[in-house]
């Protein structure tokens, strides 16, 4: 048994999610290697080599891999997969795009959004928008997994001395061209790894009303999230969406402002340690999962809250 | 150009699911079923392509027992031209099929039908796998455009806007290609009574795994299904002051 974790990169750096996925791999009890693939990832490789428990860091640094396209990454992962019993990646947009393609090329199943490792072949994962947890077993010779990062602690970024292995082979699929990327720039902590998340819903009423969320988030040095209703109403960009179809977060403190708490949204935040809801509708379902609920007008309560903390 | 749209029959998204007391599965007896919302968006996108003259034919397909014809009729009522029913004795889940097995069946159908574009939902709201489109593309060695919120179909290429962590990405994929839809791609149309009548006259062809020459791979085995850990009952606070006090005590601020 030997595991390969495919690292997630964020602006050339190792993304926080990678440290959580390595913890999931560590729980398999097998030696673990890391694949760092992208463009200009020298820093990421240096850091990767220093992670305790990583034996080898496979490096594919080439402009071809800059956009993390599955058509280019999947053949590379398949090419290096021999000898590995487990292939793991974070259940982010790259991992979800890539791993099923890898699994299909290998003729095996893929397990998505794993939240628990029971043995080397038995895993737990949420189904039905997190309303049920399935324990599943795979007989496949290679287990291809995506891991929900919020379900695993992060491994220490130090204490390791991994061997660096350069991959010579570069694979470029002619079928796909990158035309452009629009990245939402933010000074705030990254949503999926933030300690505190302040999230806004339709109750904010408008794009201007959503400023309240930013103000409270600034006060708490928190990341900003949103419900689908707030995204669809055009208050914020869709990359802030928390929920089944958006991002899954599990911060220490989750503050929901004007969020009703549809099942869709709860699937993305109900593993938060402490949940606070402020909503003027006393019957909003969010109050059923909130540790502390305040029925109040946001536009009075939030400025008061900012003042008191 | 022909567009193939796989659709799945799933529990209606408004239904609160219950786990069976023997923990074998969720209870689907007497529960309202519907077309998967992401699949509905894929059908809508395909029908719009045909209405815009960019596609010549829209073919809906579903895998499962006879009841999946209901969802094929829905796709036909939305404007699909014809449908194909790949019959399995039970639902894919109870028949032990996972996304890989489904993708193998769809790949065989794609080789027969030769569509220029396959449009799928990005995930079904029951299994939450988010795999079938990517697996299909992998098996066929087609390019893939996943989590798509913008779609522009040309003769040689399809241009897609993808929702990725941190923003949007625009790709051009050489046809034939596989595209999976995100929620923001469109708002599916409302089906009117005359559309349902018209859909009854549209053909649903029948096929089966054997006829497609596929022995689909079994999916992972489900050993048990449990309800999630319930959150401890929360409490109401009366004022902002009281809230702040609790948060200080819990040491989260």
B100, containing H or E segment: helix B99-113
pLDDT band with cut points at 50, 70 and 90 for residue B122? very high
The size of chain A, in residues, is: 309
Minimum CA–CA partner of A108 in chain B: B100
Percent of chain A with pLDDT over 70: 100
- Rounded to a whole number of angstroms, the distance from the CA of A84 to the nearest CA of chain B is 19
The size of chain B, in residues, is: 253
B198-227 residues touching A, CB cutoff 8 A: 217, 219-227
Minimum CA–CA partner of B100 in chain A: A109
Once rounded to an integer, what is the mean pLDDT over residues A131-145? 97
pLDDT band with cut points at 50, 70 and 90 for residue B121? very high
Indicate whether A184 pLDDT > 90.
Answer: no
A190-229 residues touching B, CB cutoff 8 A: 192, 196, 220, 228
Span B99-120, pLDDT tens digits: 999 999 999 999 999 999 999 9
How high is the pLDDT of residue B14? 87
- Residues of A with CB below 8 A from B214's CB? none
| A151 contacts A116 by C-beta, under 8 angstroms | yes
Minimum CA–CA partner of B156 in chain A: A175
How high is the pLDDT of residue B114? 98
Q: Distance between CA atoms of A158 and A32, rounded to whole angstroms?
A: 15
- Rounded to a whole number of angstroms, the distance from the CA of A254 to the nearest CA of chain B is 10
B58, containing H or E segment: strand B57-64
How high is the pLDDT of residue A116? 98
| A22 contacts A32 by C-beta, under 8 angstroms | yes
Q: What is the CATH number of the domain that holds B74?
A: 3.40.50.620
How high is the pLDDT of residue B144? 98
The structure's pTM equals: 0.94
Once rounded to an integer, what is the mean pLDDT over residues B1-12? 97
Ordered alpha helix ranges (H), B6-61 = 37-51
Span A73-120, pLDDT tens digits: 999 999 999 999 999 999 999 999 999 999 999 999 999 999 999 999
pLDDT band with cut points at 50, 70 and 90 for residue B98? very high
> With a cut of 0.90, is the ipTM above it?
yes
- Rounded to a whole number of angstroms, the distance from the CA of B244 to the nearest CA of chain A is 7
Indicate whether A244 pLDDT > 90.
Answer: no
Q: Which of A184, A293, A305 sits opposite B244 (nearest CB)?
A: A305
Span A251-301, pLDDT tens digits: 999 999 999 999 889 999 999 999 999 999 999 999 999 999 999 999 999
Minimum CA–CA partner of B186 in chain A: A232
Indicate whether A60 pLDDT > 80.
Answer: yes
pLDDT band with cut points at 50, 70 and 90 for residue B209? very high
Q: Which of A100, A133, A192 sits opposite B226 (nearest CB)?
A: A133
Minimum CA–CA partner of A121 in chain B: B220
How high is the pLDDT of residue A82? 96
Tokens of residue A103, six digits = 């699994």
Most confident of A200-204, A237-241, A269-273: A200-204
Once rounded to an integer, what is the mean pLDDT over residues A165-186? 91
- Residues of A with CB below 8 A from B103's CB? 104
Residue-range definition of the domain harbouring residue B113: 2-249
How high is the pLDDT of residue A254? 98
User: What does pLDDT average to over chain A?
Assistant: 95
Domains contained in chain B, number? 1
Span B14-50, pLDDT tens digits: 898 999 999 999 999 999 999 999 999 999 999 999 9
Span B134-148, pLDDT tens digits: 999 999 999 999 999
Indicate whether B66 pLDDT > 80.
Answer: yes
- Rounded to a whole number of angstroms, the distance from the CA of A158 to the nearest CA of chain B is 27
Indicate whether B230 pLDDT > 90.
Answer: no
| A267 contacts A243 by C-beta, under 8 angstroms | yes
Indicate whether B128 pLDDT > 90.
Answer: yes
Contact assignment for B228 to A182 by CB distance below 8 Å: no
- Residues of A with CB below 8 A from B168's CB? 181-182
| Pick among A146, A176, A192 to test the B interface (most B CBs inside 10 A) | A176
How high is the pLDDT of residue B39? 98
Once rounded to an integer, what is the mean pLDDT over residues A190-218? 96
């Amino acid at each position: 048994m030997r595991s390969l974790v495919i690292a997630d990169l964020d602006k050339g750096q190792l993304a926080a999610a990678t440290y959580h996925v390595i913890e999931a791999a560590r729980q398999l009890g097998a030696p673990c290697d890391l694949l760092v693939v992208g463009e200009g990832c020298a820093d990421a490789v240096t850091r990767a080599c220093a992670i305790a428990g990583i034996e080898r860091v496979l490096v594919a640094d080439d402009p071809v891999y800059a956009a993390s396209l599955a058509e280019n990454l999947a053949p590379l992962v398949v090419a290096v997969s021999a000898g590995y019993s487990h292939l793991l990646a974070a259940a982010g947009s790259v991992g979800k795009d890539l791993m099923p393609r890898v699994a299909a090329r290998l003729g095996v199943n893929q397990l998505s959004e794993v939240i628990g490792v029971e043995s080397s072949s038995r895993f737990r994962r949420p189904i039905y928008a997190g309303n049920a947890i399935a324990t599943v077993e795979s007989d496949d010779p290679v287990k291809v997994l995506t891991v929900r990062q919020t379900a695993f602690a992060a491994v220490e970024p130090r204490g390791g001395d991994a061997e660096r292995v350069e991959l010579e082979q570069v694979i470029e699929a002619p079928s796909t061209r990158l035309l452009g990327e629009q990245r939402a720039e933010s000074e705030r902590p990254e949503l999926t790894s933030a300690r505190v998340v302040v999230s806004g819903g339709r109750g904010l009423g408008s794009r201007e009303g959503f400023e309240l969320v930013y103000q409270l988030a600034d006060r708490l040095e928190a990341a900003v999230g949103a419900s689908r209703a707030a995204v669809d109403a055009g208050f914020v960009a869709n990359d802030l969406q928390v929920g089944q179809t958006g991002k899954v977060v599990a911060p220490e403190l989750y503050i929901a402002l004007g969020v009703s708490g549809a099942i869709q949204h709860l699937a993305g935040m109900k593993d938060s340690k402490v949940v606070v809801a402020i909503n003027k509708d006393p019957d909003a379902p969010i109050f059923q999962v909130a540790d502390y609920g305040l029925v109040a007008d946001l536009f009075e309560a939030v400025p008061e809250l900012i003042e008191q903390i | 150009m022909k567009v193939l749209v796989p659709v799945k029959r799933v529990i209606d998204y408004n239904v609160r699911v219950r786990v069976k007391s023997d923990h074998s599965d969720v209870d689907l007896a007497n529960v309202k079923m519907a077309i998967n919302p992401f699949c509905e968006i894929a059908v809508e996108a395909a029908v719009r392509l045909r209405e815009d003259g960019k596609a010549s034919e829209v073919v809906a397909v579903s895998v499962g027992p006879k009841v999946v014809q209901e969802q094929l009729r829905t796709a036909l009522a939305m404007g699909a031209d014809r449908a194909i029913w790949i019959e399995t004795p039970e639902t894919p889940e109870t028949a032990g099929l996972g996304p890989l097995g489904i993708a193998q069946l769809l790949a065989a159908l794609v080789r027969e039908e030769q569509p220029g574009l396959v449009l799928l939902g990005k995930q079904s709201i029951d299994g939450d796998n988010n795999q079938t489109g990517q697996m299909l593309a992998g098996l066929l060695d087609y390019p893939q455009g996943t989590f798509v919120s913008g779609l522009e179909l040309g003769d040689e290429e399809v241009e897609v806007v993808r929702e990725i962590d941190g923003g949007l990405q625009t790709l051009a994929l050489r046809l034939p290609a596989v595209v999976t839809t995100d929620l923001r791609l469109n708002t599916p149309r409302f089906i009117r009574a005359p559309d349902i009548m018209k859909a009854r006259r549209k053909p649903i062809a029948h096929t089966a795994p054997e006829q497609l020459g596929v022995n689909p791979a079994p999916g992972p085995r489900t050993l048990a299904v449990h309800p999630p850990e319930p959150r401890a009952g929360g409490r109401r606070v009366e004022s902002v002051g009281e809230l702040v006090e609790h948060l200080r005590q819990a040491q989260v601020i």
